[in-house]
Structure 1
């Protein structure tokens, strides 16, 4: 059975919750309550304040984060996982010459990591999807996601499964390790925001434009602590994969998760991918897997907030550069590009990623290329395609879509993340040269795709990406602009109308998959002793019971500080399983508010300038016993990578003090034993100076809801105190005292 409960059991639980709350329940609430642990079950929880204990149905790990997750799991001495889990090898393959050579080179270059993950999966009972089998979220969507389920994943875009009605949440590796041990996962009880969709998408508007409209309204900070629940006639008009595009990029809102209410489109998808048995089980639970009537009759009495979007009014848009909430309608983009002085020609187009690599997405792009080919045109710029999975690749090959892409000169990459997460060996544009690319990806932080800080990356839909590849003009608007055929005849592109699902279903293949073994206790986990890429973990030291006195500031970061800035990807992905080596990239991309340098700071002990942050951190750890990091708004925005918490912890960080935190990063800091503190008065951020020393006092009295005082000592000036807030509960304070959450849980 895919459900951990039967219908009568579920109905009893939900009836209890209805009586407790005095109202009907939303779809997301039902999933939460049906997976809730005893610790919070009997309580009426306050959103954003009280924790909820949850038991997930499964866990998914991608190869870049799975390394540290499995290394932490191994510390527990457990014999086997207690919750179904899979590892997906999708992040480490570099995109360069095409699928076959890239896959061959990647398998060789990453052999020791794949051997480790493969052997660890076998030893502890996880399923293993090898390199080239697909992007984690697409493979999970095809094989494991189901309406009403709860999943944790070590990737921030895990909510992709929300397109199939599953509540899926991105977490750090320590969270995943604990969940695989059968321990409850704790998170602040979220606010549920209802997003009521009406109407239908028309013309060039797409599901990508719906989530860009949400980002325009909420920004990258507006979803923190929230689950977005999409419902209404408009929601039902979207296919399951269109829904997934929207829930996938809910991560960019900073949301805990995003989910669509179960409907017939999800049933159709499950049957199309050969999961009729799962579809039947879900259909039998359809009365449970619905919103209570009050959600539509009186939504304001159920949801913390209600958002109205008429899909008919959604217009095609691009987002960027450098932030996914910088949204501009396509109709206004030429003017905007000219005002900003951006290059006017497109330098490359990238299609695919976990956000937009479904059959329907690729069909839409192929339609545009075919329209152009009939007029004697082909892409004017490099056009790269990353299929979402081997199933998608085999299906577009069977249905002759692959032929259209190849005839148009498109480079077909391996079914992996590739350029979306910086694994792109780009050679057509030298580093430092300003240029514009359009992608169907989900993030566009500076330097993320090609390590060129001067690349302006814009997020768009598959159809629009293909149209821009044909036009080569950044301001091209297919709704009103005309192209000219090879014979000089004017013509306009017509909006594509791709099928929601392949007419003959998805090709069935499990290529690259190895199912879990029942008993593999004799399997040896492979970690070469001299490896530069893998390193067994040593537990972090517990708190010594003393206040943190006169600590130097490693850096005060200015502006957007994402996990990409704190622990960059790209070439550093090679060291995600080696804490000593990955720590050498600490804050490499962070802007120093004191010196305006990136990745460097001044040693306040010696006066030496231009010191890389990892070297500075080691010095402070040796000479001062540690350091503090000061952050700006939404510190730690972006991916779920816990390396952004583990590396500062490894190098001596005692606390991170910020104006505010992104959800996953704050949780990861707590898990690794670093105190995440926020300025009670945000303007106090401006009072902190480079040579200040910080003393964090009365830590023996650290308690939930009780502010923390920090004394600022400044040479030649009187010291002063500022107040800091925190969201630590009793359990999380115990993690801090134990040295880390996993150490506390195991002990």
Structure 2
């Protein structure tokens, strides 16, 4: 640790590092010109780097140059059980590999504190209209995930620096916001900013507290866990000035869905956003967290808010210790991280957004950045005449209505608004439609406590929105099974069935296999659509029902006022509720059990946990980058849900057929996400999304949707998995060709692992989302980017070609993609190597993150011996 520039925090016995002095020593007055994120990055470097690295890195930050990369050392890693578990499975496999080479497996441990929250395992099999839904769903979760939970329990005792929050307690990001992040860390009498990476793209939610937190793939998280720096180039730091104030009745959800459309259009992929301006002051911390949570939907790496009175108010509201609250305020003011100190920050690029222009909004279908003002549903062909044939569901039926996801359940105003709307609806005699599977899955138990305090939980329960879980549910595709009668009607009538949820993702096929499309909405709007029962409904104007006096009831009749919402929040949301939830959750306990064996006892027949194969055969060797055949030729906006879906596994899928052969009953197939610790199940999910459009598969002149591929040179069209099996048997190297924004969505490492196990050596696209690109590098897959104006269409790529890549692989070097056409023609295409840093080149050349660490570990062990 670099101990220079220490300074005493006034009124405390704590030191902090005088980053201002370090920066200004390099260039006088430079510190005051740095934006907030740059200051915190500088603080992190001052605390951790040796003097030579420190000077070089600070110069880069000051000069705003991105040609060179510098190390970032996050203070901690946070994981949910899907990616966190697979990361720990990889580390367990790494221990096996090192033991096989004569190394000591017990020495392989996270060296950075790693917090694992089990929150992505529960499916809503029982809806919120069942009073015992929570207990039933938890029992099913424990039964289905016994193998996974056995492994997670082993990790608690086998690895150092791993802390596990068991299932049934809430969602990682909300727990992180409400308790785990201290904003300012203290270690060995030294105070420094909290910084973290998380194995979920929505980790930036805690940026609302002024904490630099970014989402990374599981592979990059593994690297950080094992003590390697996260190398980065200084990103674009974009100022987002918020002006105005939301109008009456406009929720934070409406704001963030509008911002998502705006920021996607402004192309902020990979940028660090800093929100500021007069409009920011009107946003509660919960509102800010709702915005920061959706940073990956903007395409941004981070979505920062400054530390101000709202931050301090929130820390007090959520029951933080008085000493910590005082420290955060003092530290921020002394180090220049308080809002007043940042008034004159300068940005290379500034975007301006007027909050007063926001209207009541949905997002969809299919993409969170496709804003859909509810007043425009009719003009866009969404709403229309509601068919109410007796005994039948209408077209556009809302079969899933879910208040879920940390995006919205973190925000007391949103949750209180939903409760008040439910109360008003109940008073007017409105009910949910019987085909709407309703659910309430808060990200924290504190939500239940303040809804009970306000007398609103019974109102929600009356409409079918009882608590089904404290977990990430429908937003992650864990909506559970439909009533068989409803499912039968959806299938037989080929209904346009939909889902409405208060989440952050609505990609095709994600929310439920039988919901053809999904729409994002605020929690009160979710309740309203459960009453309406169909998306083919003008929610602003159409009649929701008739009350006991014969009066028609519309949305405006039951929508609560802002003043009423704020009054209930003020009287019902209390610090003691958060203390009651979190103090026992994080109570220090001493494990007196026997130390675990450093090597995991793999269960041979498990379909959840299996020793990973990344040190075996071709995966541990060289990639040829020659003679590659396309596995798929794809368009724009390919998401990680296309590459590796997370929703329920259907029996006629490749994974479903495999699970059946393994003796698993269909009712326990669970989701693709829960099986990612077993590569034999997970690799069968590669490109398994039924909405995938592989341009190599054309029928009647149109690209046919489905998990389909065309085996070359045979020309045979098959299911994707059969094509992958064929190519694996032939030991045929593969390539994927794609359009713009490749890899949007969740930070799932299996979107990269799946294509690597299939034999893909390179991906060529018009552009990559940041997290997926790093996952590809971490798996030893080469990301290549077409030059502007060049793409699969201008090159007339049809999938009959073979491809080579030639040139020296250096950070962002120009390489050549050689296309060999079927007629013998050769075309040389310049492409950009998207290995962005020297560290990424090193990882790629080793074969991936795990191979790189294994080589370094064994070399250092030999040197020590």
Fold shared, TM-score > 0.5 on shorter chain: yes
1:184 aligns with 2:184: no
Q: Is the 8 A contact 1:659 1:678 kept in 2?
A: yes
Whether the aligned pair in 2 keeps the contact of 1:694 and 1:711 (CA below 8 Å) is yes
Report the counterpart of residue 81 of structure 2 in structure 1.
Answer: 63
How far does the alpha carbon of each residue in 1:702-723 deviate from its partner, in whole angstroms, 9 at most, with x for none?
Answer: 2223211122112223212111
Partner of 1:44: 60
Give the whole-Å Cα distance in 1 for the aligned partners of 2:462 and 2:511: 26
Alpha-carbon distance between aligned partners in 2 of 1:603 and 1:363, rounded to the nearest angstrom: 54
Determine the C-alpha separation between the residues in 2 that align with 1:191 and 1:578: 38
Q: In the alignment, is the contact (CA less than 8 A) between 1:24 and 1:292 conserved in 2?
A: no
Give the Cα separation in 1 of the matches to 2:788 and 2:77. 38
Alignment partner of 1:325 is 2:369: yes
Which residue in the other structure is 2:389 paired with? none
Moved more, 13-22 or 638-647: 13-22
Matches within 5 A, 1:656-695: 656-686=763-793, 687=795, 688-695=797-804
State the 1:90 CA deviation: 1.0
Q: CA deviation at 1:357?
A: 0.8
What's the counterpart of residue 630 of structure 2? 553
Q: CA deviation at 1:726?
A: 1.8
Return the alpha-carbon distance in structure 2 between the equivalents of residues 703 and 565 of structure 1: 30
**1:484–1:705 Cα change, 3 Å:** same
Q: Could you tell me which residue of structure 1 aligns to residue 676 of structure 2?
A: 576
Question: Partner residue of 2:188?
Answer: none
- Name whichever of 241-250 and 24-33 sits farther off: 24-33
Greater shift in the superposed pair: 655-664 or 591-600:
591-600
Rate the CA distance shift 1:409–1:620 in 2: closer, same or farther, 3 A. Answer: closer
Counterpart position of 1:284: 330
The normalised TM-score by structure 1 is 0.92
Moved more, 494-503 or 94-103: 494-503
Report the CA distance shift for 1:27/1:182 in structure 2 as closer, same or farther (over 3 A). Answer: same
Q: Tell me by how many angstroms 1:73 deviates.
A: 2.9
Aligned to 1:126: 162
Unaligned residue ranges in structure 2 (runs of 5+): 1-7, 96-104, 127-132, 184-192, 387-394, 648-670, 698-702, 857-865
Q: 1:114 & 1:12 partners in 2: Cα distance?
A: 49
Q: Which deviates the most, 154-163 or 590-599?
A: 590-599
Cα distance in 2 for residues equivalent to 1:110 and 1:549: 42
Cα pair 2:60 2:68 within 8 Å, conserved: no
Question: How far, CA to CA, are the matches of 2:144 and 2:156 in structure 1?
Answer: 20
Per-residue deviation, 1:470: 3.4
Q: Using the TM superposition, give the Cα deviation of residue 289 of structure 1 relative to its aligned residue in structure 2, in angstroms.
A: 5.4
Change (3 A) 1:456 1:617: closer
Which runs of structure 2 are paired with 1:476-491 in the superposition (5 Å)? 476-478=538-540, 484-490=546-552
Q: Contact between 1:709 and 1:722, CA under 8 Å: does it hold in 2?
A: yes
Question: Matched residue of 2:378: which SS?
Answer: helix
- Asked if structure 2 preserves the Cα contact closer than 8 Å seen for 1:159 and 1:167, the reply is yes
Which 10-residue stretch deviates more, 215-224 or 357-366?
A: 215-224
Deviations 1:210-258 (A, max 9, x none): 2222222232782212011112232122111111110001110111111
Question: Measured at CA, do residues 145 and 546 of structure 1 come closer, stay the same or move farther in structure 2, by a change above 3 Å?
Answer: closer
1:419 corresponding residue in structure 2: 474
Q: CA deviation at 1:372?
A: 1.6
In the alignment, which residue of structure 2 is the partner of 1:24? 33
Matches within 5 A, 1:166-245: 166-219=211-264, 222-245=267-290
Label 1:554 to 1:80 Cα distance change in 2 as closer, same or farther (>3 A).
Answer: closer
Q: What is the deviation of 1:450?
A: 0.5
After superposition, the CA RMSD in angstroms is: 2.9
**Separation in 1 of the partners of 2:65 and 2:458?**
51
1:20-55 alpha-carbon deviations (Å, 9 max, x no partner): 857522222222222236345243254665433211
The count of corresponding residues between Structure 1 and Structure 2 is 740
What SS is found at the alignment partner of 1:334? coil
More displaced, 232-241 or 532-541?
A: 532-541
- What is the match of residue 567 of structure 1? 644
Structure of greater Rg: 2
Contact 2:688-2:720 at 8 Å conserved across structures? yes
1:741 deviation in Å? Answer: 2.2
- Picking from 507, 529, 553, the partner of 1:468 is 529
Indicate if the aligned counterparts of 2:450 and 2:573 stay in contact, CA closer than 8 A: no
Q: Distance in 1 between matches of 2:13 and 2:595?
A: 30
Deviations 1:660-716 (A, max 9, x none): 111100010011111000112443312222110111123xx2222321112211222
Report SS of the residue matched to 1:549: coil
Tell me the alpha carbon deviations over residues 395-430 of structure 1, each in whole angstroms, 9 at most, x when there is no partner.
Answer: 433443222212233242111111111111241343
Secondary structure of 1:53's partner? strand
Q: Matches of 2:778 and 2:34 in 1, distance apart? A: 31
Please name the residue that 1:703 is paired with. 810
Structure 1: which 5+ residue stretches go unaligned?
none
Following superposition, the deviation at residue 479 of structure 1 comes to 8.4
CA contact (8 A) 1:13 1:34 kept: no
CA contact 1:132–1:390 (8 Å) conserved in 2 = no
User: What is the aligned partner in structure 2 of residue 351 from structure 1?
Assistant: 403
Q: Using a 3 Å threshold, how does the CA distance of structure 1 residues 544 and 101 change in structure 2: closer, same or farther?
A: closer
Contact 1:79 1:521 in 2 (8 A): no
Correspondence for 2:596 among 493, 514, 523: 523
Paired position in structure 1 for 2:123: 94
Which residue does 1:736 correspond to in 2? 844
SS, match of residue 387 in structure 1: coil
TM-score with structure 2 length normalisation? Answer: 0.80
CA distance in 1, matches of 2:805, 2:518: 41
Pairing 1:144–2:187 present: no
Residue number among 284, 309, 327 corresponding to 1:264 in the alignment? 309
Q: In the alignment, which of 558, 568, 581 is matched to residue 493 of structure 1?
A: 558
The equivalent of 2:659 in structure 1 is: none
How far apart in 1 are the matches of 2:280 and 2:79? Answer: 29
Q: Deviations over 1:158-215 (max 9, x none)?
A: 1111122212111111211222222211223211111122332221212112222222
For 2:581, the equivalent position in structure 1 comes to 509
Query: Aligned pair 1:536/2:611, yes or no?
Result: yes
SS at match of 1:336: coil
CA drift at 1:738: 0.8
Closer, same or farther: CA 264–296 of 1 in aligned 2, 3 Å: closer
Task: Tell me the CA shift for residue 609 of structure 1.
Answer: 2.1
3-state SS of paired residue (1:695): strand
1:593 equivalent in alignment to 2:695: yes
